Structure 1
Amino acid sequence: MDDSDFPDVSVLKELAREQLTIHLGNFYGKKDLVIDPGLMTPLDRLTGLQFLKQKGVDKIFKLEHKEILGGCDQRVYVVRPEVKSMRNIAAHIHSDKRAAKLRKYRVLMVPRRLHVCELVLEQEGVFGSVQIEDLHIGLIPLDRDILSLENPQLLNSFFMEGDYTWLHTVARSIVNIQSAFGTIPNVYGQGHAAKIVETLVNTLTSELGEKKSPLQHKIGHIVLIDRDVDYVTPLCSQVTYEGLLDDIFEIKCGAIEFGP
C-alpha cells in the first residue's frame, strides 16, 4: 500500500482529545486531575502535559487510597470502571468532608461507566456528590500501523471469568474506526468472542445511526481472532531486542518505565 493511501490513525488520537476537551471544558476554571495509574501512560500519549494545562488542569495526581492534600476546588477523576477505584474516590471525598473542604467532583470512566461502580459509590455514601460521565477512549495509536486498547482486563475478564463486558468496548472501537475511515467491507473472524464482537458492531452501527462514509473506505479487511485460538504464541521467547526489553521490563502503551 502506498503511504498516501495508508489510513492516518492519528485521527483517533484527535477524537479522544476532543472528547477530553469537552469534559474538561464543562468544569470551568482551574481543576485538578486524578488519574488511574493504569491510564497515566495512555493519557500522556494522547494528550501530554501541555495540552492538559491549556484546558485548565492545575495539578495532576495518581489515584491512590491515601488522601490528597490541598488542590483546587474542582477535581476530575479519570479512571477505569473498577470497584477499587470507586472506593479510593469515596475515601478522598470522605476525607474532604472531614476537613470541611468544599469541592466539586467529576468522574470520567474509561471507556464507559458500569452499574456496579455506581452501586459502590452509593454504598459508600458519595454517589450524590459526584458527576459521572463516559470518556470513550478506544483504540490508541502506538505507531502508524499499530493500534491498541491498552486494556489488560479484557483477557481475564472474558476468557477466565466469562464476563462479556469489555467486548462492547472492542466493538465500539471498531465502529469508531469505521466512522473515521469508512465502512470495512470484509470482516473475518475465528472464535466465539469474534462472533459476538461482529454482532455488536452491527448492532451499535444501527443504534448509533452511523452513516456509511461518502469517501472510499481506507481499510478493506478486518480479521478478528480469539486469544484462546492460540495460547502458545505469547508464551514463546521473543528474539528481537524490543522483545527482550518487553520480557524484562514490560512495554506498556509503547513505552517502558524504569524505576528510580
Structure 2
Amino acid sequence: MTSAAGKALPSLDKGPLSLRELRDGDRLALLDLLDTIRGRKALVLEADFAAPLSLLVEASTLREHGVELFGVLGDGSALASQLEDREIRQVVYLLHTRLESVHAAVAHVAQCRRLCSSPLEFAWLRAGLLADVTLLPTPLSWIPLDEDLISLELPDVFREWTADGDPSSLHELASALSSLQQRFGAVARIKAKGTAAVEVAGLLGRMRREQGSEGPAVGQSGIDGMILMDRSVDIVSPACTQLTYEGLLEETMGIRCGQVVLESEGGRKVHGLNSSDAVFVETRDKFYMDARRWINETLRTIQQFRDQGIHSADISALRGFVSELRDKFVRIPLHTSLIEQLAASLASPGFAARQKVEAGLLDGGDELPAILDLMYTGEGAAAVLRLLCLYCAVHGGIPRKAYDGLRRDFLNTYGHEHLLTLAALQRAGWGGRGRRRQGYIARRVPCDFLVATTGVVSGRSLVQEFMPPGG
C-alpha cells in the first residue's frame, strides 16, 4: 500500500512561465479523453507513468470520471480477475509511443481475455480486427515538476539515440517543443549544441514551416530564446556522484518526479520534495554537511524560542516567529529522518572508496587499478560500470593493452550476461578501446571545473555539485 498523505505538489505560480496553466490544460484534456469512453472503466499504466500522472491529476478525480480500477502493465492475471469480479468491460491503456510498450499492452490484453464474450471474439482480437480496440493520442507531454522545471519523463532517450541508433525520440521531443510554442508563442531565437540537439532544432524548423500561417506568431512568446543541448556537451557530470543534499537523496533513495517513497509502519508513503517544501528549498543545493548543519541550527532556534522566548515575547514577535518557521517546522521531522538515512549510507566503506576514485579521476589521475580493486573486492556491477564510464569520459577510452583483461575479469565477476551491457556501452561511446582526444583534461584547469570552496554554498553551482570531498 502506498500513501500519498505526505505528498505536496508545487504551486507553479512563481516561475517565469505559467506552468499552472500548462498543468491544468493537460489535466482537462486527459479527463475529456476519458469522458469519451463512457461507463465504468479500468486505467492501466506503464510502471513509470504513475509518478508523472500523480503530478497532473489525483486518483479521486479520475474516479469521478469513471475510472474504478487501476492497474500496472505486467499484472495481467491479477487485473483480469478483478475486471471479472467487478464486471468492468472497458480498459484504457496509457502508454509511451514505443513499440515495446504496444507489445506489452497486447500481451496484457491477451491475459485479460476473459473480457471477451466468446472465443470467436477473442480470435478477432488476436487478429487485430476487434472494433472495440481504439487508439487515441493522449494530450500528455510536459510534466511540470516544479515552478521552473518541466520534463517529458523519457528516461530512455539517450540509450535509444546513442546505443540503439533510434531517432524516433528526437521527433517526439521536437513535437513536444512545438506544442509548447503553440501554448506560449513561437520562440524567435533557437540555438543548438550537439548532434542530437541540432537534429531537434531542424525538426522544429520544419514543423514551423509546415504550420505556415496557422502556427504561433513570433514575438508573442513568454520565452525570448531557447538553447538546446544534448548529453554530448557534458558526458562527465552524469558519471559523478552528486554531493548536494538533493543529489545524495537521488543517489541513495531515488527521487522520482519530485517525490521520494519511504517505508513506514503503515506501508509505503510518498513525500513531495519541491519548492512547496520550505526546508527543502533551503537545503536542496547545499552540501550534505551544510544541509545537516542548517537543519540542526533551525531546530535549536525553535527550541530556544520555545524554552526562553515564548513567555516573554510580545504578540507581534510571536506572530512573526510562527509565520517564519511554521512551514519549516512541519517538514523538519521528514528531513531529519532523511538526513539520518543518508548518514548511514555515506558511512559505508564502499561510498568513501568510490569518492576517492572519482576525485582522482576528476584531477586527471589514472585510477584504473583502483577501479579493478573495487571490482575484485565485491563492489556492485553498476557502481563499477559507472566508474569505468567516468574513466572513459575523462581519458577518452580504456588503454588497448588493459581492455581485454578488464573485460574478461568483469564478465567472470558479474556474469557473462553483461556482455550485451558492455557492447551497448561501447556503441554509446562509453567503454571503448584506445585513447581519444582528452577534452576534459585539456580544459579542466582553464575552465575551473573544480574549484576549492569553503562554507555554505549559495545558489545552484554545477561546479560544486561534483567537487571532490575535501576540495
TM-score, normalising length: structure 1: 0.82
Deviation at 1:197, TM superposition (A): 0.7
Tell me what 1:125 maps to: 127
Deviations 1:40-90 (A, max 9, x none): 111111112122112211111111153211321111011123444434433
Matched, 1:64 2:68: no
CA distance in 2, matches of 1:237, 1:92: 38
The answer (yes or no) to whether the contact 2:190–2:227 under 8 Å persists in 1 is yes
SS class of match (1:258)? strand
Deviations 1:148-169 (A, max 9, x none): 1111111100122221101111
Cα 1:195–1:83 change in 2 (3 A) is closer
SS class of match (2:221)? coil
Deviations 1:82-109 (A, max 9, x none): 4444344333433443x36449xxxxxx
Deviation at 1:252, TM superposition (A): 1.6
Tell me what 2:423 maps to: none
Deviation at 1:180, TM superposition (A): 1.6
CA distance in 2, matches of 1:229, 1:256: 29
Aligned pair count reads 239
Matched, 1:137 2:140: yes
Tell me what 1:75 maps to: 91
Cα 1:215–1:65 change in 2 (3 A) is same
Cα 1:188–1:53 change in 2 (3 A) is same
The answer (yes or no) to whether the contact 2:193–2:230 under 8 Å persists in 1 is yes
The answer (yes or no) to whether the contact 2:30–2:140 under 8 Å persists in 1 is no
Tell me what 1:257 maps to: 261
Tell me what 1:201 maps to: 204
Deviations 1:193-235 (A, max 9, x none): 1111111112223334543248732111111111012110112
- The within-5 A match list for 1:138-153 is 138-153=141-156
Structure 2 unmatched ranges of 5 or more: 1-12, 119-123, 269-471
- The within-5 A match list for 1:159-174 is 159-174=162-177
SS class of match (1:18)? helix
Q: Which moved more, 1:171-180 or 1:201-210?
A: 201-210
Deviations 1:18-52 (A, max 9, x none): 32123211111111111111101111111121221
CA distance in 1, matches of 2:72, 2:15: 40
Tell me what 2:186 maps to: 183
The answer (yes or no) to whether the contact 2:74–2:104 under 8 Å persists in 1 is yes
- RMSD, aligned CA: 2.6
Cα 1:75–1:65 change in 2 (3 A) is same
Tell me what 1:219 maps to: 223
From 236, 241, 244, the equivalent of 2:245 is 241
Structure 1 unmatched ranges of 5 or more: 104-121
Matched, 1:43 2:45: no
The answer (yes or no) to whether the contact 1:90–1:126 under 8 Å persists in 2 is no
The answer (yes or no) to whether the contact 2:186–2:219 under 8 Å persists in 1 is no
Tell me what 1:90 maps to: 106
Deviation at 1:238, TM superposition (A): 1.6
Residue identity matched to 2:46: D
Residue identity matched to 2:244: T
The answer (yes or no) to whether the contact 1:7–1:218 under 8 Å persists in 2 is yes
The answer (yes or no) to whether the contact 2:89–2:115 under 8 Å persists in 1 is no
Bigger CA radius of gyration: 2
The answer (yes or no) to whether the contact 2:187–2:218 under 8 Å persists in 1 is no
CA distance in 1, matches of 2:186, 2:218: 10
TM-score, normalising length: structure 2: 0.47
CA distance in 1, matches of 2:115, 2:166: 41
